[in-house]
Amino acid sequence: MPARELTRRSRVRELYAHPLGRDVVESLALQVGRSPRWIDNPFVGSLRLSALPRLTGGRIDDAFVDALVALMATVPDVPAPNGGPLREAWFKEAVFYQVYPRSFQDSDGDGIGDLRGILSRLDYLKGLGVDALWLSPIYDSPMDDMGYDIRDYRAILAEFGTLDDFDALVAGLHERGMRLVMDLVVNHTSDEHPWFQEALRDLSSPYRDYYFLREGDPGTPPNNWKSFFSGSAWRWFPEAGLWGLHLFSSKQMDLNWENERMRAEIVDMVRWWRDRGVDGFRLDVINYISKTPGLPDGNRLIGDLIGWTGMEHYFHGPRLHHHLRQLRAEAFDDPDCVAIGETPGIGPQMGKLMVGDDRRELDMVFNFEHLENPGKDRFDDYRYDLAYLKRYYTRWQAEYGTGYWMSLFFDNHDNPRFVSKVDPRPEHAAAVAKLLATIQFTLRGTPFLYQGQEIGMVNQAFTSLDQLRDVESINRAAELAASGMDADAVFARVVAGSRDHTRVPMAWDAAGGFTTGAPWIEGDGDHTINVADQEGDPASVLEWHRRLIALRRENRALVYGDTVTERSAKRVWRYRRRFEGSEFLVVLNLTDRPVRTSAPPAGAELLLASAGEGRDLGPYGAQLWRVT
């Protein structure tokens, strides 16, 4: 169904009826802790967009309204209300587990995790209940951004092993009834990729159009876009007299997806990996691949609001859906091949346009709004309020209906440990970890674990910037220092959000167990939370995960059932899962204090309880009841 075209004379209620407009309004409302129902006010809803600059005293200007209208034009369709009938699929029933190869298991004592190390731990993953392993990049890379800067799409970085090792890993997974999902990074390549090197070397090379390369004054970038890794999104190459676009590291050069030959090479590469046995792909920042033609300047006000000038020109570009449909049709054409999109900034309505069964684009998306409280970002040091998580997931579960499917995650390689964000006190770590696991394995959607999450690993007690290895953290520290911030404040700001908290080695035993050598990143050396100590302990976070995973596998209602949220106090979250006559009740205490909640239905069977009994839940307590 086509979306209604908006103009400056459109009314606010028409903006809210537009799928992207609704996501924008609801996201902003969440950020300020307000309900979007104010749009229902007849006066507000009837306002014309052109009147907003005058009514806001200039805080919203005409350029902002023009940019908003142009952004809405990139979305020509409205998602189907329910997305169609429920379709069962292996990836909906599966439990995914993300491995960060450099930090999972070292097999040769060089301090760097590798493919053989992962292979040696497959029985552990199988015993946990994992169905699919998601492997962060192992391609040949200069490792400027830890493998997300790919130099050769068809080679394995030597420190990880060889293609033979990769084939052995695939075989080991398939022998155990497990599948492999690879990270696919196709928004950008390394500046050391042969395509880019040839583009710089030869003025007439066809590879020059594979990237965004622009002539100009070395002191004046082609536009005002900002990089996510600090500074301008443009790098000057003096030897070629060209500017190159990089939304991320200055060594990660953005690909031009308008180039048909480049797209064909990407498709061919994907099929090459599929032929080696890969069962699916997680597509890195895939919603950034389409840019506004001409790469115009970003709106200043939008840049101030979201922190990155220019983002409105690529977070949902005009040809995004065309490119995704081509990938699905030509590269992921096997119905058993799962395609998962990392899509920063994409809300429920836009997510539907990517994952609806009728769309033939992606199967699931990763959205990150739930990882920070309203008005906060990753580098803020604060206690996360779980009441927001309740509001967020209640909204998404209601929006997605039967024809759309969610991903469910808390930890990954790009964020600190979520347990520590909720409550950094050691005495509450296990309870918080069990609470989060209960949410993840009882809501409707596919759970994605990140290595160490199943044992409740927490943030590291870093004491110096010298301990960090992440390019984002290092660049941010340099930028903050250059702004005049004192050294202690710089460290506090950077360490709060550093990605290195989740990139330290996996803790297999009290001595670490990751390597016989010196690990590539040390962390704080505290391995109190480890696999060996939790094995077989019924009170452990590890065994809690195993029981949850087993219950989800045995009960289709916990996979496919409707989610029905009950009325409850702000700090309590109660919801039911219903499917084919089976029903479960989940009761959660979202605080660090004991709470009393409504009694479970008569005859209900308590399957799991992390703290407290009956109506009484201990701090961060979680209960799972079988109702019928």
Task: Please report which confidence band the pLDDT of residue 338 belongs to, taking 50, 70 and 90 as the band edges.
Answer: very high
pLDDT at 205 over 70: yes
Mean pLDDT for 433-440 is 98
Pick the catalytic residue: 23, 114, 183, 284?
Answer: 284
pLDDT of residue 57: 83
Active site residue 284: yes
pLDDT of residue 335: 86
**Which residue has better confidence, 291 or 203?**
291
pLDDT at 203 over 70: yes
**What residue type is 559 in one-letter code?**
V
The model carries a pTM of 0.96
Distance of alpha carbon 205 from its chain centroid, rounded?
36
Query: What phi-psi label fits residue 216: left (phi over 0), alpha (psi between -120 and 50 degrees) or beta?
Result: left
Pick the catalytic residue: 106, 114, 312, 342?
Answer: 342
pLDDT of residue 34: 65
pLDDT of residue 39: 75
From 301, 273, 384, select the one nearest 56 (Cα to Cα): 301
pLDDT at 30 over 70: no
Condensed to tens digits (0 to 9), the pLDDT of residues 110-121 reads 999 999 999 999
Task: Please report which confidence band the pLDDT of residue 28 belongs to, taking 50, 70 and 90 as the band edges.
Answer: low
Condensed to tens digits (0 to 9), the pLDDT of residues 307-318 reads 899 999 999 999
* Domains delineated in the chain: 12-72 (no CATH), 91-189+259-460+469-478+497-534 (3.20.20.80), 194-254 (3.90.400.10), 557-626 (2.60.40.1180)
Mean pLDDT for 6-17 is 93
Average pLDDT over the chain, rounded to an integer: 95
pLDDT of residue 2: 76
User: Is the distance from CB of 577 to CB of 442 less than 8 angstroms?
Assistant: yes
CA distance 72 to 592: 42
CA distance 67 to 140: 39
CA distance 335 to 281: 13
Condensed to tens digits (0 to 9), the pLDDT of residues 550-595 reads 999 999 999 999 999 999 999 999 999 999 999 999 999 999 999 9
pLDDT at 146 over 80: yes
Mean pLDDT for 491-501 is 97
Mean pLDDT for 441-448 is 98
Task: Please report which confidence band the pLDDT of residue 162 belongs to, taking 50, 70 and 90 as the band edges.
Answer: very high
CA distance 166 to 276: 9
Helix or strand run (H / E) with residue 293: none
Task: Please report which confidence band the pLDDT of residue 306 belongs to, taking 50, 70 and 90 as the band edges.
Answer: confident
pLDDT at 534 over 80: yes
